[in-house]
Chain A
Amino acid sequence: MLLKHTTDEIKARKALTINPAKTCQPIGAMYASLGIHGCLPHSHGSQGCYAYHRSTLTRHYKEPVMAATSAFTEGASVFGGQANLLQALDNIFTVYNPDVVAVHTTCLSETIGDDIPQIFNKAIADGKVPEGKYVLHANTPSYVGSHITGFANMTKAMVDYFAVSNGHKEKTVNIIPGYVEPADMEEIKRLGDIMGIKTIMFPDTSKVLNGPMTGRFKMYPEGGVTIKELKLAGSSKGTIALGNLASGAAAKALDVKCKVPCQILDLPIGLQATDMFIDTLRQIAGVNVPDAVTFERGQMIDIITDMHQYFYGRRVGLVGDPDQILALAKFLVSIDMCPVYIVSGSPAGKKFVKRLEEITQEVPYEVKISVPGDMFLFHQWIKQESVDLIIGNTYAKYIARDEDIPLIRFGFPILDRVGHSYFPTVGYKGGIRLLEKILDAILDRIDRDSSDISFELVM
């Protein structure tokens, strides 16, 4: 009973978050920055946040996470951080020699109002940014939004800083993958590849945060979108943005800036959302869907058919990031499961909540949604009436243990398991994996709880 202090009586709380289901903007920006090739993320603020952001990403990915800090002291917090950032850029290019430095702000530098572009101009004028090297920045005050907002802002900054239209349309299609795992980005690219489409994905953390063990420490691993590709993104045929909250801003900015038309889709989690993604990709690129893709789709449906009786009517609690819970809720409903409690810590707007309500309107139970909400409330709901399954990040394990409910780890952060950065949950293959996880959880529970008499070999 780790969370024995959680009560089932729900009282109004306005001034207080208990057990947050979100983190702050800079970590999202840091994650996005790592998806640029040869990039060193830089946190413009004091050392603490930055240390926490690096630790949390390190714990989640189990990979070295590099970033630099402006190391604010009291002086900087009073007189502004310009001197710190100038010195930082100088030091960074001298010692760590990245191709790109991606600066994000923190609560502190935001509040004192540092003007990053102006500082960049000064740095460039002073020769502190060597020839052929790049800088970019995003404003990421943490008292607005969440880590998702930070991711979105940094991704948009990639467009603002680099995308240019070269006057004619290239064959490429841009894909903005959303706040997903490196394995998901890899899977989305793979689907593009087998459809014979040249894609530009940004950010792209595959091979950066799920790289191989080589016996050497590399400050800048292989992967990541290059600046050349980011420039070219301005001349692509079109953009697919996956997940409105994490990717919408960049896609729209690219449309405005370079007239690259965009389509904003749900994250391709589950059958319908993946269908939608494949179909949109097909249309933009003007290709046919190859048999290999149809084959994978068929495999996924096969599993759903074979096991459909086990999904029926199961009550699920979903807690996580908005784009993810939306796609997940839709998927669950489509296989006859019942997402009954849905919580996201990140604010996502009224429209978003309305969509969730639409998606779950056929669910034969009362569906409770809280966006933004926290895990404490989520737990209180479960205490009032339990669920058969929880899908959420590692912190949900306290609730799962206390209430004896199976948990599928999904989202960010996952601090106590591996796999999430190597195996996708998007696309048909990812859908198959997700189905496997759901079935394992449910069937393990049936096995555990069944009496000797009803314990079965074949299920």
Chain B
Amino acid sequence: MTGISILKERKKQIYQKGAEPFSITCGKHSLAGSVSQRACVFCGSRVVLYPIADALHLIHGPIGCAAYTWDIRGALSSGPELHRLSFSTDLQEKDVIFGGEKKLYHALIDLIHEYKPKAAFVYSTCIVGIIGDDVEAVCKKVSRETGVETLPVHSEGFKGTKKDGYKAACEALFKLVGQGSVDNISPYSINILGEFNIGGEAWIIKDYYKRMGVNVVSTMTGDGRVDDVRRSHGAMLNVVQCSGAMTYLADMMKEKYGIPYIRVSYFGLEDMSKALYDVAEYFSHNPEIMTCTQELVRYEISRIYPELQKIKTAVKGKRAAIYVGGAFKAFSLIKALKYIGINVILAGSQTGNDADYEVLRDMCDKGTIILDDANPLELSKYIIEKKADLFIGGVKERPIAYKMGIGFCDHNHERKTPLAGYSGMLNFAREVYLTVTSPVWQFAR
């Protein structure tokens, strides 16, 4: 398997640290004929907006797009669960020929009547873009007639990559921002952007900020509520995590409402602490916040430290391959892995940009392979060559790792436990530990 051929066009998307000069091509469309691990615009929009639990999410298109995204992410809600149902216009042949606007209209009216959601999102899929339904007009009409704001999400799959889907989602959200009252918002207040409450992560993070004395106006979009988004422009600061997904919204909010933003990551001790300190720093005119933050960090780290050290002794020197969606996640993962003594021998992303890859290069040790938009053959080639013990990726990578007899850790959809925050770091370390030291591998290799 090591003797695979790599297409000429792909060679520039692979880089080995140490080989100069540094150059990696990214942001390209996948080649036709590739076994790409990437998804589409719709996918990007869907993952961003999905956790808004009191909104209606209607997928306008044939059944597949809705069926495959039905509750596949564990974005938890502390209240309504409307987001966990799968609504689709289920377009049929005659709709494709005569247009699906009528069907969309009726579906929306029925659903809004039945569920009285706070707002409705309508996702356009590929086919809708092709047959040219005027989704915008239908949404307007429905908003007018029902009084429930109905927002089109322009997420036709073929119109770009997952990133473009993030953008479309941000545009839809931005329409809500600014509609609500900003009364009673504390001067020490933030919005959390790009946090999806997988396994309850938003709850952990919110708790930290609360303990610091910082008020969270809205989490976008984890455990999200429409009314919170509506008043999010009242916050003093936007804290953007998973930069790929929501920076666009932060930019728009900065421009229109003058809200500054900082980029953070909640994964790993280092980044998590920095995320809290950066916020405390921003509110430095209230020194109490900084004091609380210091206390919090000290307390949280000392709580998990002993077990982390134990795990470190057990997994030290193991080698990991990382292939994740956004590059930002990769940075945190590398740091978190280094912290427990694990070397990263491959780091790849589906959607990294030039700047991301430069950061990646600087972070990685010599010899590390850096990959943009990889395929399974490449991944498996380097896993063998570099003798990885652990693969961190998403759903499609899991069985590949297992077939090769190495550990796996999901850092994408299929997570059940939160990996963010201090307790999340411990969960992550435990997961790494249990998979790389599993007795099963003795039978496998």
A-side residues, CB < 8 A to B, are: 2-5, 7, 11, 13-20, 22-27, 40, 42, 45-49, 51-56, 58-59, 61-74, 76-77, 83-85, 87-92, 94-96, 106-108, 111-112, 141-144, 146, 213-219, 345, 376, 395
Contacts and interface: CB of A to CB of B under 8 A. Distances in A.
A457 to B, nearest CB: 36
A303 B67 CA distance: 38
B402 interface: yes
B404 A215 contact: yes
Q: What class of interface size applies to chain B in its complex with A?
A: 35 or more
29 contacts: A2-B84, A5-B82, A11-B110, A15-B102, A15-B103, A16-B89, A16-B111, A17-B89, A18-B86, A20-B67, A26-B64, A46-B126, A48-B126, A49-B65, A54-B396, A64-B376, A64-B399, A66-B35, A69-B34, A71-B32, A74-B158, A74-B160, A107-B96, A107-B127, A108-B127, A111-B131, A215-B405, A215-B445, A217-B403
A76 B64 contact: no
Contacts of B92: 143-144
B355 interface: no
Contacts of B88: 16-18, 20
A16 B107 contact: yes
Nearest to B67: A23
Given A141-B93, A143-B92, 8 more contacts: A20-B90, A49-B65, A53-B64, A68-B34, A71-B32, A71-B33, A71-B34, A216-B1
Contacts of B405: 213, 215
A46 B42 CA distance: 11
A85 B33 CA distance: 7
Contacts of A141: 93, 96
Contacts of A24: 62-64, 67
Query: Nearest 6 A-B pairs (CB), nearest first?
Result: A48-B40, A24-B64, A88-B33, A91-B33, A52-B68, A15-B106
A18 B58 CA distance: 10
Contacts of B110: 11, 13, 15-16
Nearest to A23: B67
Contacts of B55: none
A421 to B, nearest CB: 12
B90 A17 contact: yes
Contact of A84 (B32, B103, B395): B32
B159 interface: yes
A144 B91 CA distance: 9
B36 interface: yes
A217 B107 CA distance: 45
A54 B105 CA distance: 32
Contacts of B400: 64, 217
B99 interface: no
A58 B90 contact: no
A15 B91 CA distance: 9
A23 B68 contact: yes
B4 interface: yes
B81 interface: yes
A217 B5 contact: no
Query: Which of A52, A53, A87 counts the most chain B CB atoms within 10 A?
Result: A52
